[in-house]
Amino acid sequence: MSKSIKTYWPIAGIIAVLAVIVLALLRPWSTPETELTFEVSPNQVDVVVGGEDMGEITHGQVVTVELSGEVMVEASSAGFEPDSLPITVEPGEAQIVHVSLIPSSEEAEELVEEEEAVSEEQIVTEEYHELAEDMHDKHPILHDLPQEGSHYGAYQGLPEGSSTHDFGVHLHLYSGHEDKGREQFHTWMEGTGYNPGDYLIVETVKDEAPPVAAGDGPSWSELKAMGPQDISVPSDASAKGLSVDELALHFVEVSTTWDAGEDIHHTDGLIRSKPLMTSALADTVQTPHRPTPSESWWTAYEHSAKSYPWIIEYEALDHQNDSAVDMSVCWAWIADDMEPVIDGPRTLEATIDTTGETNVIDDFHYVDPDDFVDNSGSPCIPEDAP
């Protein structure tokens, strides 16, 4: 090897090492991406991670960062005290970040309470649905309940006494028509392949005549042809000059026509119905402090749907100073971007004071379908529904 080459070889090595160092400084090695799942209260907060503004984060949202080691998470939301907490990021190892802000206003406290109530209800609903799926797989009859005929109603319910059955078929009959109701129910069971002797049947006899159907309601094709623009939410309820039947029908129309995009709870319809009531009754009607809408209401809310109600059963009994009205009310949620969602029936009982110049509702009581009960056999579903 020549002397000149020996002289410059160490210099070339030093230059190469320096080049590597310079390149490393100019282009640092990238940090692997790490997923952070945020569990936050309230459900939406503004978040900064390691100095990087992540914007508004929703409960359960996942964000990806390229960070390593201890970093600071800062969180804030209007009406809450801001907070910051350190987390240690192991590159590539996903982790959950818990953020719980302390309310600094009454409105913020109410918001947290409402969100917690909704979360708890969702957990209960999910647990119930898991149990219901197991029950339905084990007992095919549950796919066909509830079932109603002209002289009976059959519903899934809890077993009574020391029964070893998982559930009871609660058979509702009408006084003086018990035999007819049992006959119809047994005919239905046998016709669908069920043996009445295989099930716990719990009978309840109502001291009243069988309900009288008010009509069949709209067909599925008619409901599909509707749009929310075809439904007007009543805003000027008035009882003036209405007969008992007209007042009852008007009450149903006003109290069960909703705009889920505007109304926060079904009691909003009752609030619009206050002009149809006595002042004493109207004073008792208000939106719950922590409303818990049904699953169908949440669906309607997500699609900005409106409800279209109709009556399938109606019976009025006149007394000396008032009239008692019993009704079964159905409704369909109508939106532009979804198929109609059938809901109900709501059983509605109202007492109408007929002693004054204007008939007014003196009292009412209603029961809505249970979210935890399969309504695939509901009498509200049109016969031509798919």
Could you state, in chain order, the average pLDDT of each consecutive group of 10 residues for the chain (386 residues)? 51 57 50 91 95 94 93 95 94 94 94 89 74 75 78 80 77 87 87 89 84 70 95 94 90 96 92 97 88 86 96 81 90 96 94 94 93 80 90
CA 62 from centroid of its chain's CA atoms: 25
- Residue whose token pair is 């007014």: 360
What DSSP state is assigned to residue 358?
Answer: S
- Residue whose token pair is 């019993």: 326
CB–CB of 269/287 below 8 Å?
Answer: no
Q: Write the CA distances from 286 to 261, 272, 289, integer angstroms.
A: 19, 10, 9
Quick check: helix, strand or coil at residue 341? strand
pLDDT for the residue numbered 9: 52
In DSSP terms, 152 is beta-bridged to 149
Number of DSSP helices (H) and strands (E) in the chain, helices first: 8, 17
CA distance 264 to 117: 15
pLDDT for the residue numbered 370: 81
CB–CB of 317/140 below 8 Å?
Answer: no
pLDDT for the residue numbered 294: 84
Which pairing describes strands 201-206 and 168-174: parallel, antiparallel, or unpaired? parallel
CA distance 303 to 340: 11
Residue 79: other Cβ atoms inside 10 A: 16
Quick check: helix, strand or coil at residue 151? coil
Q: Write the CA distances from 190 to 153, 167, 245, integer angstroms.
A: 16, 19, 39
CA distance 276 to 249: 11
- In sequence order, the 6+-apart residues with CB closer than 8 A to the CB of 175 are 205, 206, 207, 208, 209
Element (H or E) spanning 145, and its range?
A: none
Closest CA to 125 of 295, 307, 241, 272: 295
CB–CB of 38/97 below 8 Å?
Answer: yes
- Longest Cα–Cα distance in the chain: 130
Q: Write the CA distances from 294 to 121, 125, 235, 298, 371, integer angstroms.
A: 10, 10, 24, 7, 7
Quick check: helix, strand or coil at residue 121? helix
pLDDT for the residue numbered 23: 46
Predicted TM-score (pTM) of this structure: 0.47
pLDDT for the residue numbered 45: 96
CA distance 127 to 165: 20
What b-and-e string marks burial along 234-255, b requiring 16 or more CB atoms within 10 Å of the CB?
A: eeebebeebebeebbbbbbbbb
CB–CB of 287/296 below 8 Å?
Answer: no
- Residue whose token pair is 């009239």: 323
Both structure tokens of 273: 């119905």
CA distance 375 to 342: 9
